[in-house]
Structure 1
Amino acid sequence: MVALIFGLLVALVLFWVVGAHNRLVRLRSEVIRQWSSVDAVWLRLLVRLQGGIAARQSLATEEDLPSLQGLQTVCDDLLDALTQVRLQPLEGETQKLVVQQHQLLVAEVRRVLLIVSEAVKPDLDIALSRMRQTLPAAVIPYHVAVAAYNEALEMRPAAWLARRLKFKPALRMDLSVASN
């Protein structure tokens, strides 16, 4: 009888561990899936911005070219950061790098808007406006998935299992583009 009770307890614990593991993996996969949606929005915005920069370089004055090339470099840096997140999803340092590069891009677009000629400004205004309209909405499902995943990591006794599996919390990313 003792062996039967012990066997039932072991089976119960085993079923719980498998269920908790599956839930954590499912929630982690959902965070990664939602990030891929944000990544797709970012890529579309960056391609449009880079296309606008390339198209306007022929209209730009000699004084505008260094600013546009600097803006192109910041776009490339953000693309590199997004690539790193694709390679290492949920890695805190790569996620922080994306946020940092995003902030640099927004600051650079605003800086360039102040100094370039009127022929170049429309595309940059449109790019900044698209970021302002598109990114906050695209990040909402990601933040919901992050909140569910992080809550699951903190719940007891699943927190014990998460530590053993080396699951780390996902970062909430502020990719908003505030108005001037």
Structure 2
Amino acid sequence: MGALIFGLLLAVTLFWAVGAHNRLVRLRAEVVRQWSSVDAVWIRLLVRMQGGIAARQSLMMDAGADELQPLQMACDELLEALSQARLQPLDGESQKQVVTQHLKVLAEIRLMLQTPNDAVKPDLDIALNRMRQTLPAALIPYHVAVAAYNDALAMRPASWLAGRLNFKPAMRMDLSMGAA
């Protein structure tokens, strides 16, 4: 009788562990899927902005073309950070690097908007407004997925299983102040 009870408890524990593991893997996959949507929005905005920068540089053959170079470099660095985050979407350091590079791009755009060169101001103002409108909207489903995943990691006894499987919490992103 004791062996039957022990076997039943072992089977229940095994089924629970498999179910908890599958739930954690599914939630983690949803975070990665939502990150890919955010990444696609960022890439689309950066490609559009870099195309505008390249067009302006080809039109401005004088010394004014050099003033767009820091913005071009900031965009390139953000693209590199995004490619690193694409390889490891749940890595906190790569996510922090994306936020840092994003803030550098915003700073360069704001700096360019303060220059006397009126030729690029309308395009940069449009790019800044697009970033302000589309990125926060794209981050909402990502934040919902991150919250669900992190809540599942914190629940007991699934937190014990998550610790044994080396599942780390995902990072929520706050683009206005950096990484949260």
Normalised-by-shorter TM-score class: over 0.9
Asked if the contact 1:60/1:119 (under 8 Å) is kept, the reply is: no
> Does the alignment pair 1:88 with 2:88?
yes
Query: In structure 1, what is the equivalent of residue 115 of structure 2?
Result: 115
| Corresponding residue SS for 1:115 | coil
Amino acid paired to 1:137: A
* Equivalent runs, 1:43-82 vs 2, <5 Å: 43-60=43-60, 62-82=62-82
**1: CA distance, partners of 2:37 / 2:26:** 17
Cα contact 1:59–1:119 (8 A) shared by 2: no
C-alpha displacement of 1:55: 1.0
Q: Does 1:28 align with 2:49?
A: no
RMSD: 1.4
SS in 1 for 2:174: coil
SS of alignment partner, residue 41 of structure 2: helix
State the distance in 2 between where 1:175 and 1:138 align: 12
Give structure 1 regions of 4+ aligned residues with deviation exceeding 4 angstroms.
none
Letter in 2 for 1:103: L
1:9-56 superposed Cα distances (whole Å, 9 cap, x missing partner): 000000000000000000000000000000000000000000110111
SS of corresponding position for 1:143 = helix
Q: CA deviation at 1:61?
A: 6.8
Give the paired residue count.
177
Deviation of 1:66 (Å): 2.6
Does the 8 Å contact 1:24/1:152 carry over to 2?
yes
2-side partners of 1:84 and 1:29: how far apart?
Answer: 18
TM-score by length of 2: 0.94
Partner AA of 2:44 in structure 1: R
- Residues 1-20 of structure 1: matches in 2 within 5 Å? 1-20=1-20
Secondary structure of 1:50's aligned partner: helix
Q: Compared with structure 1, are the counterparts of its residues 116 and 80 closer, same or farther at alpha carbon in structure 2 (3 Å cutoff)?
A: farther
1:122-159, Cα deviation, whole Å (9 max, x unpaired): 11111101001101100000000000000000000000
User: What is the Cα deviation at residue 116 of structure 1?
Assistant: 4.9
